[in-house]
Amino acid sequence: MALVIAGERSGVGKTTVTLTLLASLRRRDRLVQSFKVGPDYIDPMFHRHVTGRACRNLDPVLTSEAYVQQCFARHSQLSEYALVEGVMGLFDGVSSLVISHSSFAKDKGQRTNDKGLMTNDKGQITDFASTAHIARLLDLPVVLVIDCSRLSGSVAAIAHGYRSFDPRIKIAGVILNRVGSDRHLSLLKDSLEPLQLPILGVLRRQDNITIPDRHLGLVPTAELPELNALIDRLADLGDTCFDWQRLLPLLKSESLSPSASPSLSPSFPVRIAVARDRAFNFYYQDNLDLLQQLGAELVFWSPLEDADIPKDIQGMYFGGGFPEVFAQQLAENSNVRDAVKTAILKGMPTVAECGGLMYLCEQIIDFEGKSWSMAGVLPTSAVMGGRLTLGYRRAVALQDNLLVKANTTVYGHEFHRSHLTLTPTQPLFETSRYDCEENMGREGWGLPANIHASYVHLHWGESREIPQQFLKQCLKVASSATWI
């Protein structure tokens, strides 16, 4: 048993409700494991800040249905309580034309066409990778968060519609958010009473609880000096706004013997420098775990603050983040920029995703049009703009590269507001949308041959050959003694 927090749509307050529950549980000294549906990086940062445990992403597009189940089982049984935060609205998922792993087609009424695409026999829109899909996969009850700020009696129609839309989904109750007054609450309760659907929480409009956001969502935790005070206010709220007598049994994890992590041979004794600071902090914890399980020692460092790159390393990993926000500080740390460029040109295997790719460019041109010098490994510049590039990607490798062999298909996610001034002459991938055949063009830099720089974020959980391939190249550096 555990609980899924879902919304009737985006923006109803799922994250606030989730953090309020987590903060109140931690105040009670409860050990709680959190999960996040989808590819998001920032919400899990807030979960981790509250619980002290790494939040795990549950995304069957980036991994598989089986991996989602295994990941949840492995980590939830190590804690007393487990909580899953959903994504978007409860049934918002991928459309019926699904490019997917073959295992996804089993018992789903799907067939494969001559192009290898999984299509639904009736052609309707599906909820694959939605919160509802995850709730069904894990057989978990759902609590529906409803934004009540602009409705009263209509709340019953919303709740009834969501409860009856898919009988496989077990709606355990609702949480009413942004309730304005006692009279407003009375109207909401009267409307819901005929449904006999439990009200598990009531959150009044909160003017003193605001999590700031910007162009890619919430501002990450490392940039919020008042975050602990905010979490304390959420814990105070959680102590009084929830029906804990009903919620605690739903949140309780099964008491099982802890299962071991997947058995991997630790055959790559190398040191990997992982850039982690306010500019670079988008990492799936599972990716970092896999590197360590394979024998790598992770050395965390800051391109913003440190005077040099770490010593005695055989590889570098630059995750995504917000280098555009800290472009001036990154530019001013010229010693590190030069050291990164020198290391890569001398053959250091380097993975750079999205924000990491931007850092390897010659320049970042910010929203105000100001240019800031970066590492200068890639002969292009990253320009910030208003257009958001967002969505799952199917990417086919065009050539052997640092992470995958030619013709290998990987599934990833893009989320950025920058574009490059020049395209690579020998790109890594041919990309297309995940849920249709629309071609998204060629992208990714693999020259010099020891780098993998791409806008596409990858989760390695179902593709362990990716970290193995990366570490294999790092081990060559270590054994050749060409890098010190």
Q: Which of 354, 361, 436, 474 is catalytic?
A: 354
User: Which two tokens mark 483?
Assistant: 């890098």
Element (H, E) at 200: strand 199-204
Amino acid sitting at position 351: V
- C-alpha separations of 19 from 230, 363, 410 in Å: 10, 37, 32
User: Which two tokens mark 308?
Assistant: 């040099």
E strands, 276-408, are 280-282, 297-301, 315-318, 320-321, 350-353, 361-365, 371-373, 378-397
In the DSSP assignment, the letter for residue 260 is P
Cβ atoms of 231 and 225 closer than 8 Å: no
User: Which two tokens mark 261?
Assistant: 């992590």
**Alpha helices in 106-226, H assignment, sequence order:** 131-138, 155-165, 182-192
Report the C-alpha gap between 437 and 213 in whole angstroms.
33
Catalytic (active site) residue 354: yes
Amino acid sitting at position 214: R
Please list, in sequence order, all residues whose beta carbon lies within 8 angstroms of the beta carbon of residue 207, skipping any fewer than 6 positions away: none
Label residue 2 left, alpha or beta by phi (over 0 means left) and psi (-120 to 50 means alpha). Answer: beta
Report the C-alpha gap between 147 and 163 in whole angstroms.
16
State how far Cα 207 lies from the chain centre.
28
List residues bridging with 34 in a β-sheet.
83
Report the C-alpha gap between 313 and 357 in whole angstroms.
20
User: What is residue 337's three-state secondary structure?
Assistant: helix
> Could you tell me the maximum CA-CA distance found in the chain, to the nearest angstrom?
74
User: Which two tokens mark 64?
Assistant: 């598989």
Query: Which sequence positions are flagged as catalytic?
Result: 354
